[in-house]
Amino acid sequence: MIIGSIALRGVLDQYQRAGASLVELQLFELATAAATAITKERRPLELALSVDPEDAGDLQTELKAARNDADRAIARFRARVEAEKLQEGMNFNFLTALLREERRGADALLALPLEARQVSLQLRVARGMSAISQAYVPFVDKAAQRVIEADESLAGRVNVARLLGALYESATRLPSEVMPALKRSEVIPPEAVMTSMRVQQRILALWDVGVSQLEFGFDSPQLRQAHEDIRAIYFGKGFPFLTRAIETYSRRPLNATERGDRISEVYAPTTLPILRMRNLYVDAMMKEAVAIQESTLLQMKLVVFLTGLILVMTAIATWVLYRQMLRPLFGLRDQILALCERRPLSRRRYEGSVLAVRSLYKALETLETRDHQRMVLEQERAELAEKLRTLSETDELTGLPNRRGLFARLDGLGEQGRDYVAILGDIDHFKAVNDTYGHGPGDEVLAAFSACLRKRAGEDIVVARYGGEEFAIVVRSDGLEMALAFAEELRGEVEGLAVRTTAGTIRITASFGLAHQGGPVASWQALFSIADRALYDAKAAGRNRVRLSNATLATLGPAAQPGGGTAARRDEAAA
């Protein structure tokens, strides 16, 4: 009787877990449907933005229908959440207010004539709609977490459904960054190209992580066909088609707006297999939960019937039952808890013959594998973000920090209470070098000049390419005379430099402007602006010389005034 009661309780727990998971899966389905509706609202809006208001009647109707669908989907999800009192972590008021605000901005732009809809304004609207999708992600995550809490074995499949939803959103977002420029027959802005590249990398990363999980999903012909459709239609046709278009038209404009319409017509249908795959995954999970309920209900009836037979079972049969089911289930529970709490996992191999328990152990192995894959993905994302940050702060030609990298290194440096000298150096007549010898030798001259600066960089000296042929140097100096001598020494070295290029040997000179700041530096940009005026003075005085800013000269006294200091004596000698 005791063993029968335990077995009945186990089946009852499984039945209740299946019922609870079915309820939570229905909530998850409502959440994903709302996410899809929000994403689908984006395409008619972007199409309407590319045509004149008087020609956008059908698109306006389609946009209105899409908005109504999104509102209804959100309302259904919200009603279910409020009925079950699950509002914690789901701020629907904020979501609807944000959606209403973005729609108001989109409608304001739609009211403008086509020629007044700048690409930047269209990008802002598109990114605003993308922000709505991102703001909705916690709602889906909350619903997914409830499914996992109801049945841990569904964690992998729910995460696959979430991954497919993220993949569909990213695939739909990809043309949003470039279509405004394509529709207007303009070159795609660099910022939009960079954003689209990040979206492409996210799509590829999501697919690389999810492809192995997709292949080991439900044993369903529909799922397998949807999987093949994603490979063949989206990644075989739509994705490479759009990426080639982005690469092509980021360098030159379209020949006609119709080409942009063609891109939109070809790409949009290729994203549908991703959505179909996600919906199939959710439907399959719900069907499986229903099947489990029916199965466990039958098992409960069977257990009740067999309880009378269990009374006559021998101690050996009891021990066999314990070894085959109860002890493995308890061990499985401990392993699941250890995995959830990230404690060292003691892997126990199931040696029994009960298929249900064996499938649970296999599900645990799948869960552990996917959790490991998620951790690896997070680490790869962090490494990729660091690489992108380094690339964005480094000048490709010279290897020196660019202007952004310079200010990143100077951030907080000026608060140390030390004296600093900002120096701006500019290669004299560099345009003539490019005009005479070509840009290739010109780049070699820039590289040679940057090499002179790089070998002086150190703990107290920061060098960077400020822009074009202009370079920035920041020197920590306890005395301005030392910085002035440093700049003069550098000027002399450049004057004696013979750059061997593919066009022959080129000799160059450079001019330098200095600005000094005592104590904490309030604004590096302001200090460089003063140095830039000093550099302009050096150029105006004949080039190939060093100039202090007027503000710095005023702090040095009569010895450094024109006619009384080193800079003045060198100017007289040059004259």
Residues recognised as catalytic: 469
Alpha-helical (H) ranges within 455-509 are 480-495
Pairing of strands 461-467, 470-476: antiparallel
Distance from C-alpha of 505 to C-alpha of 268, rounded to nearest angstrom: 55
How far, in Å, are 6, 60, 70, 93, 125 from residue 99 at the CA level?
Answer: 51, 17, 10, 10, 11
Helix orientation angle between 42-49 and 57-83, rounded to the nearest 10 degrees: 150
DSSP string for 399-439 = -SB-HHHHHHHHTTGGGGS--EEEEEEEETTHHHHHHHH-H
d(CA 115, CA 97): 30
**In the 8-state DSSP scheme, what is residue 370?**
H
Distance CA 373, CA 155 (A): 14
Q: Contact 427/445 with Cβ under 8 angstroms? A: yes
Compute the distance between CA of residue 551 and CA of residue 555 in angstroms, rounded to an integer: 7
Q: Where are the beta strands (DSSP E) in 226-269?
A: none
With contact defined as beta carbons under 8 Å apart, do 541 and 507 qualify?
no
Separation between Cα atoms, residue 507 and residue 101, nearest integer Å? 60
